[in-house]
Amino acid sequence: MQPRHTSDDTRRAREFEAYVAGAGGRLLHTATLLTAEAHGDNPRARRLLTLALARTYACWDRLHGEDPYDHTRQHLATRFARGAWHHHGGLLRSRSRPAGPLAALTPQERLVLVIRLYEGVDGEQTAALLGLPVERVRTVFNRAMANVLRPAPRPAPPVGGVKAVPS
Amino acid sequence: MSRISREATVRRMLEQSPPSVPPDLHVEAVRRGTRILRRRTLARRALWLLLLAMTVAFVVWAVTARPWVEPPSETTPPLTGW
């Protein structure tokens, strides 16, 4: 009994290592986009991804041909959706300044935008993955697109210009 | 701007500058994953033990209390001598 377990463990560890080596970069990029952290300094994204990967590792033998990438992405999304509330300007923790291209969006807008565009999942599957109605996903996606494409607000020059005109 | 090109613009925006993967990502994930597996095994074992204990307790109770035997009647006095 014991030798079989050990060989199972090593096989699983080897397969899992190959999987992380292949998909880790892309998944970490997804996680970093979700948490809107800077690319060099993304502790939250790393933690999120590590926990999602640990879940995938624990279920590795029960995947039965299912894509492990989908599994990890699903965990990443649900864990982020559940955890976002706590990070949304919590009282105790000082929130780190959001960075990256999606800094101006809310966590839910980021989630939908990243799943739809960066991960390339279509609207209905996104809704199923996030447990939201399709209509809601479409609304959030359109709002996120509008927000991310809106030119960044530049408050200083217009104010200066307005002041300069009357004087 | 059409919908397709707007989506392409945002996609390009998202795809630039991927972060570097920390070298210990795999090791840490395996460590935590093993812990999850161990915890699951322990929980399953505890549940089986509980089930076993409940079965044993039920059997012992059933053998001693014999609930299927009709209890002797207590309401009517035994009808004797007529």
Could you tell me which residues come within 8 angstroms of residue A155 by beta carbon, excluding any fewer than 6 positions away? none
pLDDT (0 to 100) of residue A159: 45
Residues of A in contact with B28 (CB under 8 A): 50, 54
Give yes or no: residues A72 and A138 share one domain.
no
E strands, chain B, in order = none
Per DSSP, A151 falls in state: P
d(CA A115, CA A74): 10
CATH number of domain containing A130: 1.10.10
Q: Which residue has the higher pLDDT, A47 or A39?
A: A47
Q: What is the mean pLDDT of chain A?
A: 81
A162 within domain boundaries = no
Q: How many CB atoms lie within 10 A of CB B24?
A: 11
Residues A33 and A10 in one domain: yes
Instruction: List the structure tokens of A60.
Output: 């590795």
Task: Please give the residue of chain B at the shortest CA–CA distance from A141.
Answer: B7
| Residue B61 covered by a domain | yes
Residue A88 confidence (pLDDT): 53
Whole-complex ipTM: 0.71
User: Is residue A148 packed enough to be buried (19+ CB in 10 Å), middle (13-18) or exposed (0-12)?
Assistant: buried
* Interatomic CA distance for residues B15 and B10, integer angstroms: 9
Domains held by chain A: number: 2
The reply to whether A36 falls in a domain is yes
Percent of chain A surpassing pLDDT 90: 35
Residue A82 lies in a domain: yes
- Distance (Å, rounded) from C-alpha A166 to C-alpha A46? 52
Contact A72, A23 (CB under 8 A): yes
* Predicted local confidence at residue A163, as pLDDT: 47
Tell whether A167 is covered by a domain.
no
Asked if residue B33 is part of any domain, the answer here is: yes
Substitution target in A26, A29, A150 with the highest count of B β-carbons within 10 Å is: A29
Evaluate whether residue B52 is within a structural domain: yes
User: Do A85 and A107 share a domain, yes or no?
Assistant: no
Its domain, for residue B34, covers 23-65
Residues in chain B: 82
Q: pLDDT tens digits for chain B (82 residues)?
A: 688 888 888 888 888 878 888 888 999 999 999 999 999 999 999 999 999 999 999 999 999 999 898 888 778 777 777 7
Q: Could you say which DSSP state residue A116 is in?
A: I
pLDDT of residue B64: 94
A98 within 8 A of A37, measured Cβ to Cβ: yes
Please name the helix (run of DSSP H) or strand (run of DSSP E) that holds residue A56, with its range, or none.
helix A43-58
Q: DSSP readout, chain B?
A: --HHHHHHHHHHHHHSSPPPPPTTHHHHHHHHHHHHHHHHHHHHHHHHHHHHHHHHHHHHHHHHH-TTSPPPP-SSPP----
Task: Tell me, yes or no, whether A76 and A15 share the same domain.
Answer: yes
Residues A44 and A114 in one domain: no
What does the alpha-carbon distance between residue A115 and residue A122 come to, in Å, rounded to a whole number?
8
- In a domain? residue B34: yes
pLDDT per position as a tens digit, A101-143: 787 788 888 899 999 989 988 888 899 988 889 999 999 999 9
Confidence of residue A65 (pLDDT cuts 50, 70, 90): confident
Q: Is the pTM of this model over 0.95?
A: no
Question: What pLDDT, on the 0 to 100 scale, is given for residue B31?
Answer: 93
Rg (alpha carbons) of chain B, rounded to whole number: 35
Q: In total, how many domains does chain B have?
A: 1
Which of A89, A109, A132 is where one domain is finished?
Answer: A89
Domain that includes residue A81, residue range: 1-89
Residue B10 included in any domain: no
CB distance B29–A20 less than 8 Å?
yes
Q: Count other Cβ atoms within 10 Å, centred on residue A124.
A: 11
Q: Which residues of B touch A46 (CB under 8 A)?
A: 22, 25
Same structural domain for residues A127 and A85?
no
State whether A101 and B13 contact (CB < 8 Å).
yes
Q: Is the pLDDT at A25 greater than 80, yes or no?
A: yes
What does DSSP assign to residue A117? I
Confirm whether B80 is domain-assigned: no
